[in-house]
Amino acid sequence: MQIYCPICGRGYAQKLKDTWLVVCDTCHHLVKGSGLEPDQLMMPDDWSNIQVGTTGLYKSQNFTIMGRIRLQMKNDFRNLWCAQYGQEIMWIGQSLESIGFFKPPFAPYPHNFDQIRAGVNIEFSEQIKLKCELVEKCIEIRYEGELSPFPFPMGNFNLIQASNAAGNTVLVFHQNENSIQFLWGEVMLVYGVTFNNTKTWSQWETK
């Protein structure tokens, strides 16, 4: 579906099946969506070689990056990329060391949350246990491109990351005891993933 920026008139061909937000690439106003602050639509430069339009291959199927959510944490930041993956949506979580691929959409966290803190094990099933590696407060959130729904648009949540040696990983977004969502996925080392149509400078290419 073709939509147009109400400010600058730029046309945009909406591609995701459940588009929640489109940020104009030219003037950084909302083409679709509402309720965000203007500075949340300005994306700062960072070290990432992935960008909107980057493509790649995951489990023998191509994906295309459509948009980005940048989470500024207290000590660090991370990118959560929204990708078109066949007919599905895939979230790609990027930190300095690893890339996480999250295929099921955001869902309410089904387990007891009370004891989650860095270092403890989270039992997802009898077979799957994940070690909690990070608990950090998100202090700022920014948006770019076209995005599927994100449950906490104003960014007031704690992010918990847990994973195990088998490559299972989970991101838990905890706003309060009644609002906890998670993404389930698989984590890979950055060198195990190939992306195309990336920015040309990158520490990733110095391998």
7 lies in the binding site for Zn ion (CB under 5 A): yes
Q: Is 135 a residue that touches Zn ion (CB under 5 A)?
A: no
Task: Report the 3 state secondary structure along the chain.
Answer: CEEECCCCCCEEECCCCCCCEEECCCCCCEEECCCCCHHHHCCCCCCCCCCCCCEEEECCEEEEEEEEEEEEECCCEEEEEEEEECCEEEEEEECCCEEEEECCCCEECCCCCCCCCCCCEEECCCCCEEEEEEEEEEEEEEEEEEECCCCCCCCCCEEEEEECCCCEEEEEEEEECCEEEEEEEEEEEHHHCCEECCCCCCHHHHC
Q: Is 41 in the site for Zn ion (CB under 5 A)?
A: no
Part of the chain binding Zn ion (CB under 5 A), chosen from 1-9, 105-113, 158-166, 184-192: 1-9
Complex with Zn ion: residue 8 or 42, whichever CB lies closer = 8
For Zn ion, the closer of residues 66 and 130 by Cβ is 66
Give the nearest distance from C-beta 155 to Zn ion in angstroms: 23
Least Å distance, CB 7 to Zn ion, is 5
Q: Give contact residues for Zn ion (rule: CB under 5 A).
A: 5, 7-8, 10, 24, 26-27
